[in-house]
Amino acid sequence: MRARVADTVGTFFSGNMIAYVFAWFICGVIVAVTGLILWMTFVPGLPFDAGLSLSNYREVLGTSHLWRVVLNTFWVGSGTVFVSIFFGVPLGWLLNRTDLPLRSLFITMLAVTVIMPGLVKAMGWIMLLSPQVGIINKLLMELFRLKAAPFDINSIWGIAFIQGLMLTPSMFFLISGPMRSLDPSLEEAAEVVGANRWKTLFWITSPVLWPAILGGVIYIFMTGIAIFEVAGILGGLSENRVLATELFLAVQPFEGSLEIKYGVAGVYGFLIMLPSLVGLFFYFQSIKQAHRYAVITGKGYRPKTFALGRVQLPAMLFVFLFLLLAVFLPFLVLLWASLLPSLRMPSMEALSLVSLRWYEEIHYLVGGMEVIKNTLLLVVTSSVLVLFFSFMVSWVVVRTKLRTRRLLDTIAMLPHAIPGIGFAFALLIIGIMGARWTPWLPFYNTVWIIVVGNILTRMSYATRITNAALLQIQQELEDAALVCGARKWVAMLRVMGPLIRPSLVFAGLWTALLVFREVSVALLLGGPKNKVLATQLWILWRQGNLSEAAALSIVLILIMGLLILLLQKMTGSVGQVRVTPQIGEEKL
Amino acid sequence: MRIGTRIVIFAAVLLTLATVAPRGVPVLSAASPVVTEGQGLLRRLVEGAKKEGQLDLMVVSSVGEKGARELTSAFKRRFGLDIQMNADISGQESQKFNQALAETKSGIPPTFDLMQGEPPVVLMLQRSGGLEPIENWEVLLAEIAPEGYKVKEKVSPKGVAGYGFVWANRISGLLYNPKLIPERDLPKTWKEMGEPKYRGAFSLPPWTTITLMGLIKYDKEAWLEVVKSWGKSKPQILTYDAGTQRMMLGDLKFLEGNDYYYFEQKAKDPNAPIGLTYFQDLTPMREVLYVVRKGTRHPNAAKLFALWASSPEANSIFEKYSYTQNTALGSGPVTQQILKRLKALNIKPVSWFDNPETLEKFLWLGTGEGQEYSRAIARAQREGT
Amino acid sequence: MLTVESLHKTFVTGEGKVGAVRGVSFEVGEGTFLTLLGPSGCGKTTTLRCVAGLEHPDSGKITIGKDVAYSGSEGVAVPAYRRGVGMVFQSYAIWPHMTVYDNVAFPLVHGGFKVPKSQVKEKVRKALSLVGLEKLENRPAPLLSGGQQQRVSLARALVYEPRLLLLDEPLSNLDAKLREEMRLELRELITRLKISTLYVTHDQEEALVLSDRIAVMSEGQILQEGQPRDIYLNPQHPFVASFIGAANFVDGKARGARDERGGVVVETALGQVVGSSSQDIKAGETVSVIFHPEDVLVRTDGDARGTNVFPGTVERLIFVGNRIQCRVRCGELQINSDVSSRVDVRQGTKVFIELPQENVRVLKLK
């Protein structure tokens, strides 16, 4: 009898049970919050007001320009995908599978670009490609004696271009895993039957990687149609409107009536979500395919590096071009702005005004120790919790035979289809309700509500990484530990832990970076006592203090860059989701 | 003095003291000086604030972190308070007021003790019962900011009297880039802005709060047509800050915006390519008011600050960091420069609170018909239809 | 067909330089089947990959047919896709996004062995029928079993009739029964096609069955090369002896002079053992006496006469069907013997073991 009880208790606390509980918990939260957003779309005023109605839907769907907005959104999404593939796929291949020099450094720089907020990049691009004053335009016009500026950044293509550059690192990191775990003998076999490097690349490597790339494409599309900051900055609030701008506008007192239409915002959120849901479906199809194709021999093969030979120089130039566009140029613009009292085009006159004034005032720009403390708390807690929950979800999805595990995976991806600001609103309502019914629980107006918002929105990417990581580890390694008498959680800790550590570190770091610079959620849920660095930066920007904002940005970028480099040195590598070496025959 | 008069005075003083005494002002000790009602009320507020020990308030973002600190320090110094003050400078006034509305409706303690915003959001919150009035505010104002007391109907205008207290006025002017367009070529009236020659030269903000103030001068249909003409030329829609940046970069020629931006930019850089003038037909002005939230946990500190914000001392700090003027007071340096310009151009800014008729028009906007009209204006501004 | 001369290859790993191939030379004659046999890490796969052009040697020379594929001294290095060899990988390397037909047709369509379109189908069908997979032409690759994948891999290697066939442990991922079947099929096929073949394996039985010649490798060097029978019966190196067949090793000191039959007398812990040796063994030299279990006669008749007869006790018996594996303790030594299952021995039986002189090899201890 006692043995039976002990058995039940043991099973309950067995590794799988723990995973089930936590995985279902977080998915339950996601479903609940999404449900709240959906419910809000049916409420005409605030959620406390009575009555459900379709008035919000009528308002949104009744607008004459909705069709154009949807079309714009589609073009922006496609353009974003195109640009991110154009740069991301070759970069993924060059930096993972070839002998290009300085690969490690380039990968670090890719990760660092994430720190620069989109609005800063957009501002930089205005200075470069605005039809009136863009430097590049002016240069080209002089060189080729053109009458009109060849590039106009204030267009759908401008938005897509900048967003594509912004999301290239995401594409890169999404396909790095599959690229590295590609069985090198597939390519060697092609070589032996007489296909040269390029034929191999075209006929063998690309088709096998395609499902993984497709997964990346869908993910980027979903992200691209939900971003507001770029479209908003590029003056696209009149002509080149996309669904995300509509959502933003619904939240402004634009319509004269001063009550913010949370419901309308929710409807736009769902309009954004619909194509993403369709995309999600295809995403899961394509990764199923990718798994079939993932011929991971697990025999300790290291991916074969492609010798670039004569192509090395063009390849380096390509990488430099990307870094120039995505990193250096915006960074230079930032630097330039930070050294001036206010932003102006480069000129002799401007040079005379250069000073370090804003850097000297950094402690004011930061906003005090409270801000730093809040930010640290936010970033660390969010990353740790995201990692924890992702691991749990991935465990259930990859390792167990639970029938509902596919559903779990889908739910984890769901937040990606909804703009973050939608979650922020839902959490606001939840916060208010919480303040009413459980006032003793610290939530509303604290850092914790922002933490929850970030956890919900970051799960989607983190689970991609932990899924891939767990897939690569043979079940047997863990089973061996169990047979030796170790409990499940000990096996998880001592066997799996070290093997997937690189992936976990990477996922944690990426999450931390994104949480660090996330603004919309932190802003909406911010009050007097939970200010964070991202909102400070945003405040400076919104006040038109671009120079101060630039100075703060530069300092933050340098700090984050250093941290990443440090982390890379400590854990071996950051961007490299390694194929875990198996214990087996070492081929010599 | 004749004895009779002395007795009368003494009785009057006693009578006053009798009315004041139940509120616990220690007046009857032999050595204490005679206090006025105002002083008594003030002291009670200060004592209350000391006990509360904290104040969560909104401060306009343009003062920045440094300005917020100076502001709060000055406040504490003025009243000898040593309380914790959490100033939120993240802006987003309309979002915060809406949140306040939700808080009021659900009956939870408010996030902020003290909020500041323009009349539309303030009136919305007041209508919903989210504001706490300051009793005897006139007397207190006289104590705290005598200069403000002199213009008290401007400091707390009819309509929000006792609820809202003006700390700044935002006046709409024309900001332009003198390198790209000389002053004489600028549109002289709001109507002219819609002319084809200005296509692509200016930006409009995404909000309609200023646009709607056209009703003060023009009639509904005519004004709608004017707004449509702007929208037809498909201008860029940018916030004032973004628009000003772009204009100085040379991307735009001019924009309608807050006049004090001119002084702000010039202070940062005397050679900034920015000029300031005003439309000749209509110059809208919005009061920016501090309001105390109902149900606040720190009412005394909040009330103190609300009243103090309309003082010249506070105004000088506001002007120092954000260049926002307080034309009611008329004392600060920026304010005086603005007043001088307005006088030179013979311009009289108008506001919703000017007279009962304008207030009536403003309240009409809140009705169903008014909301229809607002939506039409919004569509006109955005799309020109 | 293939000549490898003084091949050298080192790898740089986390622990420093590892000499994988250290001066390997061998030849594969026209139509011959040579196996590189050795334990994991001995360098056999690296050698094979150097021949294929998938690894770049440090020095040496590789000639395929009349062409120099690699020459360190002359600076020649023909890339893999131009060497015209066929290769079967250990993991088969079947391309998952293609059907069986496309996999096999690839060399003829996109590879280096292009033929006119009209001929492709015929050649592919022929190759598939060689491996018995004609019916699976249109099956998508991921749906094949391990054995089927291996055949497709072979068909792909053969479809363009290469002059040299390289096989990297192609049978090691199959289950035992399949392995045995495939072994024979493979041998038959290759003999029929008369293709020069270089095979790599760690399984000595496989090597013995398949090869015309075997080269035993250890630690980057070839220790002995020769016909399977020779290697088995005449190991020239203790390692070779231990690797091929299960051998008994007894160390001792040579007495020097040979006896009347030319045998070498060695003083061992067993006693005085007389064996044969092709090496020049001096007196007093420490040597290894090696003999196979199947050459150890177990006598229960109590007759202690004769050379190389030693007393012992049966310590352990393992019945493997047609034989009995006996472990006999002779003093401090354990001698393994394979006897017919009809021999009547039990644990603890006192026996005599006899080692016929011609089956005992004496090798210098290296």
- Percent of chain C at pLDDT > 70 equals 99
**Would you say residue A152 lies in a domain?**
yes
Q: Is the pLDDT of residue B114 over 90?
A: yes
Q: What are the tens digits of pLDDT across the range B126-178?
A: 888 999 999 888 888 888 888 888 888 888 988 888 899 999 989 999 999 99
Same domain (yes/no): C154, C297: no
How far apart are alpha carbons C42 and C207 in whole angstroms?
15
Question: Pairing state of beta strands C196-201 and C33-37?
Answer: parallel
Query: Whose CA is closest to C203, among C233, C237, C168, C229?
Result: C168
Q: What mean pLDDT comes out for the span B202-212? A: 86
Q: Is the pLDDT of residue A466 over 90?
A: no
More confident residue, A471 or C288: C288
**Mean pLDDT of all residues in chain A?**
78
Q: What mean pLDDT comes out for the span B211-231? A: 90
Q: Which neighbouring-strand residues pair with B236?
A: B203
Q: What mean pLDDT comes out for the span A510-515? A: 86
**Would you say residue A490 lies in a domain?**
yes
How far apart are alpha carbons A85 and A91 in whole angstroms?
9
Q: Tell me the pLDDT band of A186, cut-offs 50, 70 and 90.
A: confident
Are the folds of B37-168+287-329 and B170-286+339-383 the same?
yes
Domain containing residue A488: CATH number? 1.10.3720.10
How far C259 CA lies from chain A's nearest CA (Å)? 45
How far apart are alpha carbons B270 and B285 in whole angstroms?
26
Residue A164's Cβ-count burial label (10 Å; 0-12, 13-18, 19+) is buried
Q: What are the tens digits of pLDDT across the range B5-63?
A: 666 665 555 665 555 444 444 444 445 566 778 788 888 889 999 999 999 999 988 88
Cβ neighbours of residue A410 closer than 8 Å, sequence gap 6 or more: A280, A284
CA distances from C206 to A396, A527, C194 (A): 43, 76, 19
**CA geometry: angle at B48 spanning B44 and B53, to 5°?**
150
**Would you say residue A567 lies in a domain?**
yes
Chains touching chain A at 3 or more Cβ pairs under 8 angstroms? B, C
Same domain (yes/no): C182, C278: no
Say which range, A82-96, B21-35, B97-111, has the weakest mean pLDDT.
B21-35
Q: Do B65 and A353 touch (CB under 8 A)?
A: no
Domain B37-168+287-329 in CATH 3.40.190.10: yes
More confident residue, C4 or A480: C4
Q: Do C93 and A188 touch (CB under 8 A)?
A: yes
The domain ranges of chain B are 37-168+287-329, 170-286+339-383
Q: Is the pLDDT of residue A452 over 90?
A: yes
Domain count, chain A: 1
pLDDT of residue B256: 92
User: Closest partner residue to A432 among B57, B108, B383, by Cβ?
Assistant: B108
Domain count, chain C: 2
Same domain (yes/no): C220, C252: no
How far apart are alpha carbons C196 and C199 in whole angstroms?
10
Q: How large is the ipTM?
A: 0.76
Give A-chain residues touching C112 at CB under 8 angstroms.
Answer: 193-195
Which helix or strand (DSSP H or E) is residue C267 part of?
strand C264-268
Range of the domain at C186: 2-240
How far apart are alpha carbons A88 and A172 in whole angstroms?
5
CA distances from B260 to A549, A571, B180 (A): 21, 53, 21
Four-point Cα dihedral B188, B192, B196, B202, nearest 10 = 70
Q: Do B206 and A361 touch (CB under 8 A)?
A: no
How far apart are alpha carbons A78 and B160 in whole angstroms?
51
Give B-chain residues touching A526 at CB under 8 angstroms.
Answer: 88, 90
Residue of chain C minimizing CA distance to A585: C40
Range of the domain at A486: 16-303+315-332+365-571
How far B294 CA lies from chain A's nearest CA (Å)? 16
How far A581 CA lies from chain C's nearest CA (Å)? 14
**CA geometry: angle at B377 spanning B375 and B382, to 5°?**
95
**Would you say residue A414 lies in a domain?**
yes
pLDDT of residue A588: 23
Same domain (yes/no): C201, C263: no
User: Closest partner residue to A544 among B101, B107, B244, by Cβ?
Assistant: B244
- For residue B39, give both structure tokens: 């002083």
CA distances from C163 to A187, C35, C83, C87, C198 (A): 21, 17, 10, 11, 11
Q: Do C95 and A193 touch (CB under 8 A)?
A: no
Give A-chain residues touching B180 at CB under 8 angstroms.
Answer: none
Give C-chain residues touching A192 at CB under 8 angstroms.
Answer: 52-54, 80-81, 83, 85-87, 166
Give C-chain residues touching A204 at CB under 8 angstroms.
Answer: 95
Q: Tell me the pLDDT band of A142, cut-offs 50, 70 and 90.
A: confident
pLDDT of residue A1: 59
Q: Which residues of A495-532 are buried (b: 16+ CB within 10 A; e: fewer)?
A: bbeebbebbbbbbbbbbbbbbbbbbbbbbbbbbbebbb
Query: Whose CA is closest to A423, among A270, A224, A223?
Result: A270
Domain B170-286+339-383 in CATH 3.40.50.2300: no
Residue of chain A minimizing CA distance to C10: A588
Q: Tell me the pLDDT band of A544, cut-offs 50, 70 and 90.
A: low
Q: What are the tens digits of pLDDT across the range C207-238?
A: 888 899 999 999 889 999 999 888 888 888 88
Please report, as a single letter, which amino acid is at residue C264. V
* DSSP, res B350: B
Q: Is the pLDDT of residue C246 over 80?
A: no
Please report, as a single letter, which amino acid is at residue C222. I
Please report, as a single letter, which amino acid is at residue C331. G
How far A226 CA lies from chain B's nearest CA (Å)? 20
Give A-chain residues touching B227 at CB under 8 angstroms.
Answer: none
Q: What are the tens digits of pLDDT across the range A55-76?
A: 778 777 777 778 888 888 888 8
More confident residue, C68 or C174: C68
Query: In B52-140, which ranges are E strands?
Result: 54-58, 84-88, 114-117, 131-132
Q: Do B371 and A368 touch (CB under 8 A)?
A: no
B224 touches B377 (CB < 8 A)? yes
- For residue C294, give both structure tokens: 């199947």
B83 touches B301 (CB < 8 A)? yes
How far apart are alpha carbons A385 and A391 in whole angstroms?
10
**Would you say residue A242 lies in a domain?**
yes
Q: Do A233 and B109 touch (CB under 8 A)?
A: no
Q: Tell me the pLDDT band of A43, cut-offs 50, 70 and 90.
A: confident
Q: What are the tens digits of pLDDT across the range C106-152?
A: 988 888 888 888 889 999 999 999 888 888 889 888 888 888 888 99
| SS3 per-residue string spanning A340-384 | CCCCCCCCHHHHCCCCCHHHHCHHHHHCCHHHHHHHHHHHHHHHH
Say which range, A318-332, A495-509, B105-119, C172-186, has the weakest mean pLDDT.
A495-509
More confident residue, A99 or A228: A99
Q: What mean pLDDT comes out for the span A483-491? A: 66
Please report, as a single letter, which amino acid is at residue B200. G
Q: Tell me the pLDDT band of A307, cut-offs 50, 70 and 90.
A: confident
Q: Is the pLDDT of residue B65 over 50?
A: yes
Query: Whose CA is closest to A255, among B104, C43, B378?
Result: B378
Question: Pairing state of beta strands C67-71 and C76-77?
Answer: antiparallel
Domain containing residue C282: CATH number? 2.40.50.100
Scan for tokens 């050679």, then name that residue.
B271
Q: Is the pLDDT of residue A50 over 70?
A: no
pLDDT of residue B21: 46
Give A-chain residues touching B368 at CB under 8 angstroms.
Answer: none
Q: Do A199 and C87 touch (CB under 8 A)?
A: no
Domain boundary among C194, C219, C240: C240
Same domain (yes/no): C231, C342: no
Domain boundary among C240, C265, C284: C240
Q: Do A208 and C97 touch (CB under 8 A)?
A: yes
Same domain (yes/no): C235, C250: no
pLDDT of residue C319: 87
B374 touches B211 (CB < 8 A)? no
Cβ neighbours of residue A65 closer than 8 Å, sequence gap 6 or more: A241, B383
* DSSP, res A583: S
pLDDT of residue C216: 93
Domain boundary among C240, C261, C288: C240
**Would you say residue A413 lies in a domain?**
yes
**Would you say residue A436 lies in a domain?**
yes
pTM of the entire predicted model: 0.75
| SS3 per-residue string spanning C28-85 | ECCCCEEEEECCCCCCHHHHHHHHHCCCCCCEEEEEECCEEEEECCCCEECCHHHCCE
Give A-chain residues touching C110 at CB under 8 angstroms.
Answer: 195, 199, 203
**Would you say residue A577 lies in a domain?**
no
Which helix or strand (DSSP H or E) is residue C338 part of?
strand C333-340
Four-point Cα dihedral A382, A385, A389, A392, nearest 10 = 150
- Percent of chain C at pLDDT > 90 equals 20
Angle, helices A405-417/A262-293, rounded to nearest 10 degrees: 130
In B105-144, the residues whose Cβ lies within 8 Å of chain A are: 105-109, 111-112, 120-121, 124
DSSP line for A122-137: HHHHHHHH-TTT-HHH
Give C-chain residues touching A191 at CB under 8 angstroms.
Answer: 53-54, 79-81
User: Closest partner residue to C93 among A186, A196, A587, by Cβ?
Assistant: A186
Say which range, A280-294, B303-317, C310-324, has the weakest mean pLDDT.
A280-294
User: Closest partner residue to B236 among A235, A527, A546, by Cβ?
Assistant: A235
Angle, helices B93-106/A420-437, rounded to nearest 10 degrees: 40
Q: What mean pLDDT comes out for the span A545-560? A: 80
CA distances from C200 to A588, B109, C45 (A): 12, 79, 7
How far apart are alpha carbons B244 and B230 in whole angstroms?
18
Give A-chain residues touching C90 at CB under 8 angstroms.
Answer: 185
Q: What mean pLDDT comes out for the span A511-540? A: 84
Would you give the distance in Å from CA A327 to the centre of its chain?
Answer: 17
How far apart are alpha carbons C319 and C339 in whole angstroms?
10
**Mean pLDDT of all residues in chain B?**
85
Say which range, A23-27, A440-444, B79-83, has the weakest mean pLDDT.
A440-444
3-state SS of chain B: helix, strand, coil percent to 5?
A: 55, 15, 35
How far apart are alpha carbons C236 and C224 in whole angstroms?
7
How far apart are alpha carbons A318 and A329 in whole angstroms?
15
Same domain (yes/no): C281, C229: no
Indicate which of C15, C106, C156, C173 best probes the interface with A, i.e. most A CBs within 10 Å of its own CB: C106
pLDDT of residue A45: 66
Same domain (yes/no): C109, C33: yes
Residue of chain C minimizing CA distance to A199: C110
Query: Whose CA is closest to A210, among A289, A325, A125?
Result: A289
More confident residue, A213 or A116: A213
Q: Is the pLDDT of residue A253 over 50?
A: yes
